Amino acid sequence: MSKITLENVSYVYGEGTPFEMHALRDVSFSIRENAVTGLIGHTGSGKSTLVQLFNGLTRPMAGRVLLDGADIWEKPKQIKQIRFRVGLVMQYPEYQLFEETVRADIAFGPKNMGLPADEIEARVREAAELVGLDEALLDHSPFDLSGGEKRRVAIAGIIAMRPEVLVLDEPAAGLDPRGRDRILTQVREYQRRSGATVVIVSHSMEDMARFCDDIVVLARGELVMQGKTDEVFAHADRLAQVGLNIPEISRVCAMLRARGIPMDEGIFTVDAAARCLERLLGATDGEGASTR
Amino acid sequence: MSQPFIHTEHLSYSYEDGADAKQMPVLHDVSLDVARGEYIAIIGHNGSGKSTFAKLLNLVLEPTDGKILIDGQDITSPDMTDDDLLALRRKVGMVFQNPDNQLVATVVEEDIAFGPENLGVPSAEIRARVDEALAAVGMTEYARHEPHRLSGGQKQRVAIAGIIAMMPDCMIFDESTAMLDPLGRREVLEVMERLHRERGITVITITHHMDEAARADRIVVLDDGRVLRDGTPEQIFSEPELLMEIGLDVPQSAALVHRLRKAGLSLDGEVGTPEACVETICRAFAAREHNTLVNG
């Protein structure tokens, strides 16, 4: 089932001025329910415009955005309801914290939804736990926390609204490897537990290959590819053509193929590459290859 | 061996926690030598002390204990004058993480002139230095542009040019690629490596991207304020378990070779970068073919 569907969506910045820029051109695709979808593309490919269309922060100039099959702009006055259902975590969201305590910051969204106090408190705790924030931190000022912790507070603030769709724009940017894995694992876990639909925007193909079920590829405001993660990364050449990176391991495999080594197509994890090479190298191993 | 360009001796740094006036240690007993013209990456998880170490090297922070010699001069000595400090900052330049926080002027070339102007460089020479610095980072055509309209990678290149114009011996990149997209990262890496290669500038890069660290001549691993490892990328990335344990990882290329070695395959050669990894694997195929021919 598709959770969000874009039908022939276009968006132009500065229309009719010398700065006119087509951010999106006639884009149509769907985001699968109950899955993690990765959105990839260069800076300027239209990704950020797209995520703002998902929750009605911007309105398409042509085409429709459907949530559960219904046009989100059918009743423009109720667009706020859509923003509770589609939660957007922007880039570097830790710069948007502003409350005096972590608790108050996470509670901001649920409060705006008009929920009763005990419900808000329950959601704050649940969201904090989900992103791995210690309960003791709830009474601290968010500004005393480390960068990674602040980021998790910001994500918890969106999760506390229990959105049906959670959209994260570069959630791991600037974090160290542990912080990055932690946040992405927690997002996966949130998806699994809540059954929500998750969309992640990232430049890291390695992360996308590891954490996403589906991938959508954009270039210059147009849809290039869409499919299951392995299907999309199987077309590494196509990705390279539109100037996108491919996971380092896929690049290694392509280079090996160019050197005449018959690596399988469509490898995008270290595991798969290792299995393939063990098979190729191990075939006549035994007495042979140990030259060390 | 000639005198190291940077020499630190039992360097420690701690700060006082505002709330309960407790001493919070950040760096312990770090003794390191960096040769002139080296290209070093410093890796470590958040809070491992790597940025602190960098900030001590040009006295943005002052050490709590220990000694730092730059080019033979003890910069931790109480005899350091303001002029000495200025000379030090000229010699050791820093590029920071956020491209939006480092530019001060409203025109690119004025921003680059800011450093040499402060150093009292004569204006005719400033012009020459600015032009040269712009060329060095490939931003000549943007000389009259407004910095805030540039991309992240371009802003970082302007920040780098501002330092180049002061003719430094050493440049420290403190997570300077962390906030950039892949294109911006590539631009900054290219400029950084060219400065090292063509001008012999000593480069110290602090990064969370293991694939960037793999390109350096040497990697220093910091963990909880101590030097945990110091070696070539080959040596450092041959211990993936250790790196994982301290919250880091290894580039996928290195992880692949490591996996194959664990599976009992014999692979000799370097592993840090994709290119090195491909060479190493191709060599194993060649060896296998050779053995098949020899042994039938």
Close Cβ partners of B122 (under 8 Å, ≥ 6 residues apart)? none
| Distance in angstroms (rounded) separating the CA atoms of residues A186 and B261 | 32
Identify all chain B residues contacting A48, using CB atoms and an 8 Å cutoff: none
| Distance in angstroms (rounded) separating the CA atoms of residues B164 and B203 | 12
**CB distance B256–A277 less than 8 Å?**
yes
| Distance in angstroms (rounded) separating the CA atoms of residues B39 and B84 | 25
| Bridge partners, B226 (sequence order) | B223
The answer to whether A195 and A34 are in contact (CB under 8 A) is yes
Q: Which residue is associated with the tokens 């009992």? A: B264
Identify all chain A residues contacting B259, using CB atoms and an 8 Å cutoff: 270-271, 274
Q: For A48-101, what is each residue's pLDDT tens digit?
A: 899 999 999 999 999 999 999 999 999 999 999 999 999 999 988 888 888 899
Tokens of B69: 């010699």
The answer to whether B99 and B33 are in contact (CB under 8 A) is no
> Which of A245, A252, A285 has the highest number of chain B CBs within 10 A, making it the mutation to test binding with B?
A252
Across the interface, which of B46, B181, B253 has its CB nearest the CB of A248?
B253
Tokens of A168: 């994260």
**Chain A: closest CA distance from residue B182 (Å):** 7
Q: How many CB atoms lie within 10 A of CB A222?
A: 16
Across the interface, which of A178, A179, A270 has its CB nearest the CB of B256?
A270
Instruction: Say how many residues make up chain B.
Output: 296
**CB distance B253–A261 less than 8 Å?**
no
**CB distance B178–A259 less than 8 Å?**
no
H or E element that contains A7: strand A2-13
Give the per-residue pLDDT at B266: 87
The answer to whether B13 and B44 are in contact (CB under 8 A) is no
Q: How many CB atoms lie within 10 A of CB B182?
A: 17
Identify all chain B residues contacting A281, using CB atoms and an 8 Å cutoff: 260, 265, 284-285, 288
Report residues of chain B scoring pLDDT below 50.
none
Give the per-residue pLDDT at B100: 86
At A15, the amino acid letter reads E
**CB distance A281–B260 less than 8 Å?**
yes
A interface with B, Cβ–Cβ < 8 A, is 42-43, 92, 146-148, 173-180, 203, 206, 245, 247-249, 251-252, 255-256, 259, 261, 270-271, 273-274, 277-278, 280-282, 284-285, 287-292
| Bridge partners, A7 (sequence order) | A64
Sheet order of strands, A62-67 included: A21-32, A2-13, A62-67, A70-71
Domain definitions of chain A by residue range: 2-234, 247-283
Rg of chain B on CA atoms, in Å: 21
**CB distance A146–B46 less than 8 Å?**
yes
**Chain B: closest CA distance from residue A172 (Å):** 10
DSSP sequence for B192-237: HHHHHHHH--EEEEE-S-HHHHTTSSEEEEEETTEEEEEE-HHHHT
Q: For A122-133, what is each residue's pLDDT tens digit?
A: 999 999 999 989
**CB distance B183–A42 less than 8 Å?**
yes
Nearest CA in chain A to B45: A176
> Which of A140, A207, A248, A285 has the highest number of chain B CBs within 10 A, making it the mutation to test binding with B?
A248
**CB distance A206–B282 less than 8 Å?**
no
Average pLDDT over residues A168-191: 91
The answer to whether A79 and A72 are in contact (CB under 8 A) is yes
Q: For A275-284, what is each residue's pLDDT tens digit?
A: 999 999 885 4
| Distance in angstroms (rounded) separating the CA atoms of residues A281 and B292 | 12
Close Cβ partners of B217 (under 8 Å, ≥ 6 residues apart)? B38, B39, B40, B232
| Distance in angstroms (rounded) separating the CA atoms of residues B100 and B169 | 25
**CB distance B256–A255 less than 8 Å?**
no
Tokens of B281: 């694997």
Burial class (CB in 10 A: 0-12, 13-18, 19+), B261: middle
The answer to whether B24 and B42 are in contact (CB under 8 A) is no
Identify all chain A residues contacting B179, using CB atoms and an 8 Å cutoff: 92, 173-174
Q: How many CB atoms lie within 10 A of CB B59?
A: 18
The answer to whether B137 and B160 are in contact (CB under 8 A) is yes
Q: Which of B286, B261, B248 has its CA nearest to residue B42?
A: B248
The answer to whether B57 and B70 are in contact (CB under 8 A) is yes
| pLDDT band at residue A286 under the 50/70/90 scheme | very low
Q: What are phi and psi of A2, to 5 degrees?
A: -95, 135
B interface with A, Cβ–Cβ < 8 A, is 44-47, 97, 151, 175, 178-179, 181-184, 208, 210-211, 247-249, 251-253, 255-256, 259-260, 263-266, 268, 274-275, 277-278, 281-282, 284-285, 287-288, 291-292, 295
The answer to whether B13 and B68 are in contact (CB under 8 A) is no
Q: Which of A12, A188, A183 has its CA nearest to residue A92?
A: A183
| Distance in angstroms (rounded) separating the CA atoms of residues A145 and A120 | 22
Q: What are phi and psi of A74, to 5 degrees?
A: -60, -40
| Distance in angstroms (rounded) separating the CA atoms of residues B244 and B79 | 43
Across the interface, which of B248, B274, B282 has its CB nearest the CB of A251?
B274
Give the per-residue pLDDT at B19: 65
| Domains of chain B (ranges, CATH numbers) | 36-62+79-232 (3.40.50.300), 251-296 (no CATH)
**Chain A: closest CA distance from residue B118 (Å):** 32
Instruction: Say how many residues make up chain A.
Output: 292
Three-class DSSP category at A128: helix
Tokens of A164: 């049906």
Close Cβ partners of A78 (under 8 Å, ≥ 6 residues apart)? none
Close Cβ partners of B200 (under 8 Å, ≥ 6 residues apart)? B36, B37
- DSSP structure class, residue A262: -
Q: Calculate the alpha carbon distances from A289 to A201, A255, A275, B284 in Å.
A: 43, 22, 17, 7
> Which of B154, B285, B292 has the highest number of chain A CBs within 10 A, making it the mutation to test binding with A?
B285
Three-class DSSP category at A260: coil
Query: Ramachandran region of residue A12, left (φ > 0), alpha (ψ -120 to 50) or beta?
Result: beta
Superfamily holding A2-234: P-loop containing nucleotide triphosphate hydrolases (3.40.50.300)
> Which of A233, A277, A292 has the highest number of chain B CBs within 10 A, making it the mutation to test binding with B?
A277
| Bridge partners, B203 (sequence order) | B39, B171
Whether A290 shows a pLDDT value over 70: the answer reads no
Give helix B252-262 / helix B274-295 axis angle, nearest 10°. 30
Q: For A6-28, what is each residue's pLDDT tens digit?
A: 999 999 998 888 888 889 999 99
> Which of B149, B256, B290 has the highest number of chain A CBs within 10 A, making it the mutation to test binding with A?
B256
Identify all chain A residues contacting B182, using CB atoms and an 8 Å cutoff: 42, 203, 245
Q: Is the interface score ipTM higher than 0.95?
A: no
| pLDDT band at residue A287 under the 50/70/90 scheme | very low
**CB distance A290–B266 less than 8 Å?**
yes
**Chain B: closest CA distance from residue A73 (Å):** 32
**CB distance B288–A259 less than 8 Å?**
no
Burial class (CB in 10 A: 0-12, 13-18, 19+), B125: exposed
**Chain B: closest CA distance from residue A278 (Å):** 7
Give the per-residue pLDDT at A289: 42
